[in-house]
Each structure stands twice: as structure tokens, then as C-alpha cells.
Amino acid sequence: IDQLEELLGKFNMPQPKTDEPPSIAPTESSLRRGIASQEFFLVYQPQFSIATGKIVGVEALLRWQHPTLGLLHPGLFIPLAEQSGLINQLTEQVLEQALAQMAKWDHADITMSINVSPTTVVDLNMPEKLDAMTTALEIDPEKIVIELTETALMENASLYMDILTRLRMKRFNLSIDDFGTGYSSMQHLVRIPFNELKIDQSFVRQMLKDTECRTVAQMSISLAHGLNMHVVAEGIEDQETFDLLRELGCEIGQGFHMSHPVSAWEIEHLYLS
Ligand code: C2E
Ligand code: MG
Ligand code: MG
Ligand code: MG
């Protein structure tokens, strides 16, 4: 753990901040209106077993069909939603859409991963809310994976410990997303009952060329296995990386090499029929 922390310290040196606004910047009022008029929808990126190549799950990724700015990715509106307090309403829509979709896919042996901002886990009383929603839709909680990013969690580890433990006790899966990009002490990781670790794509995408990235991936995999977690590698863009991850014992892969995020219809027709 010390060795991994030291190595990650190198990657997580503070970067100079650029405060330039993006060229396309939605406003808070347009976000509010967009939520009210249902302009948000989900796309799904398949996740594959690295051993068998079979689909084992999908990750729900949010998109905003903005009336004048066009199709927007979450990087352009999630931070705004978090700052303006609209993230809870947005997360409610995400949960509704993702779970409704999952209810339609009840015949398929796949999981659904959902990204949530850590604050919403607390604000929405996530264990009770998800429990009520999955019960109403007759969805097995073990098919649902809640993804939280490392950075936000570790700033408030003890606050999240209780609520995440309750989610786990209701049999929802917990995944630590973008692993390796936080500034955290890894001791917290051991205390929160995650059952999945996602290696951040910045390491995966460089691991063929950069031996330190490869070492981070390797050590993350052995840390995860030591803590009884399985590993998802995201950002796999070529066959060589896929093969290397198989050699390293990574269980699940996700990335443009296999599939971009696609519509629910495409998931159904390409993978579930
Ligand atoms: P993430 O959860 O780490 O999701 C993976 C991101 O990497 C997605 O970007 C996906 O399209 C992209 N990606 C997947 N494979 C590859 C690859 O091989 N190469 C490259 N270059 N990129 C790849 P996306 O959809 O733009 O999402 C960005 C982030 O926004 C997500 O990162 C997640 O943290 C956040 N996000 C997405 N949907 C939601 C949501 O419903 N709620 C919240 N709170 N956050 C969300
Ligand atoms: Mg994610
Ligand atoms: Mg990620
Ligand atoms: Mg990310």
C-alpha cells in the first residue's frame, strides 16, 4: 500500500488551474429548465468479461440534449449541477431512467452501473430510496452497481461509511470509480465496503507505453484482490491493452476498443438478443 501511495503521489501532483470557462457553457437557469423538460437521457457502455469476452454489465452515462448547444457530455454540466444544488433532482431522473431500463432487461444476466455524486448518496437517503425503487420494479439489488469517485469520498470518509455500509447490507454493489486519481489515504478504502475497483482510464490508456502506469494498474489489481474486490479497467482502446489486462488478472473491461456508449436499443439488439 505504501509503495502504491508513493507512486500515485507522483501522478497526483497539483496541476496549475485554468479558470477559463469552456467555450460552450450552459447556465444554471438552462439546467433548471432542462431538468423540468426532461432533456436528459442515458447512454450505456457495455462491460465485458476479459476471460470470456461476454457482456457482463453496462454503465449508464448521462447526456443532455440541449436545445441550442446540442448534445452535452457530463463534464460540461455535472460540476454546475453540483454547485447549484440541482444534482439531487438530476440524480433522481438518472435513477428512474436507469432502473426502468433495468426492469425491461430483467431476462438478461447483466449488471447496471450508475454514477452518483457522493453528496446525493446522503441527501437522497440512497439506501432507502434505492431499496424502494428496486422493490417496486422487482429488480435484484445485486444487479445494481453504485459508482462513486475516490476523490469526493475520501474527503469525508466517516460520513459515507455508515450510509455505504447500509447500501451494501441491502445487497447493492459499491464501486470505487477513477481509482488512482484521488489524493486519498488508502486506509479509508479498506474501511468502506466496496466490492469493485475501477482503474482510472488515464492509467489504462498509457499502460503499454508507460511502465509506471502499468505498475499502478498492477498494484491496484493486487490491492483490490487482497480486499476481495474485482477489478474493472476503463478506457481500453486497443487489443494489446486488453491482452495485457488479462495477463494481469483484471476481470472486467470497458472501452472504445470494444464499444462506445450506445443507446438502450443498441445494447438490446447487439448484445442481448
Ligand atoms: P466515468 O464514470 O469514469 O465514465 C467513463 C467515461 O469515460 C465516460 O465519459 C466514457 O464515455 C469514457 N470512456 C469510456 N471508454 C473510453 C475509452 O476507451 N477512451 C476514452 N477516451 N474515454 C472512454 P462521459 O460519458 O463523458 O462521462 C464522464 C464522467 O461524468 C463519468 O466518468 C462520470 O464520472 C460522470 N457521469 C456520467 N454520468 C453521470 C451521472 O449520471 N451522474 C453523475 N453524478 N456523474 C456522471
Ligand atoms: Mg463511472
Ligand atoms: Mg471512471
Ligand atoms: Mg471519469
Q: If we measure between CA atoms, which residue out of 85, 51, 22 comes closest to residue 248? A: 51
ipTM value, please give it. Answer: 0.97
Q: What's the 111 CA to ligand 2 centre distance in angstroms?
A: 13
Task: For residues 244 and 221, give the distance between their C-alpha atoms in angstroms, rounded to a whole number.
Answer: 12
Task: Please identify, by atom number, the ligand 1 atom nearest to the C-alpha of residue 149.
Answer: 34
- pLDDT tens for the chain, residues 1 to 273: 888 888 888 787 766 656 555 556 899 999 999 999 999 999 999 999 999 999 999 999 999 999 999 999 999 999 999 999 999 999 999 999 999 999 999 999 999 999 999 889 988 899 999 999 999 999 999 999 999 987 777 777 788 888 999 999 999 999 999 998 876 556 677 788 899 999 999 999 999 999 999 999 999 999 999 999 999 999 999 999 999 999 999 999 999 999 999 999 999 999 998
Instruction: Give the three cell numbers for residue 109.
Output: 444476466
Among the bound ligands, the one closest to the CA of 204: 1
Question: Exposure pattern of 123-155 as b/e (b: 16+ CB <10 Å)?
Answer: ebebbeebbebbeeeebebebbbbbbbbebbbe
Among the bound ligands, the one closest to the CA of 147: 2
CA distances (Å), origin 145, targets 21, 59, 133, 164, 262: 33, 9, 14, 12, 19
244-250 contacts, C-beta under 8 A, 24 or more apart: 244/207, 244/208, 244/214, 245/50, 245/204, 245/217, 246/50, 246/51, 248/217, 248/218, 248/221, 249/221, 249/225, 250/50, 250/199, 250/217, 250/221
Q: Is the CB of 150 under 6 A from ligand 1?
A: no
Task: For residues 158 and 214, give the distance between their C-alpha atoms in angstroms, rounded to a whole number.
Answer: 31
Q: Is the CB of 200 under 6 A from ligand 1?
A: no
Q: Is the CB of 78 under 6 A from ligand 1?
A: yes
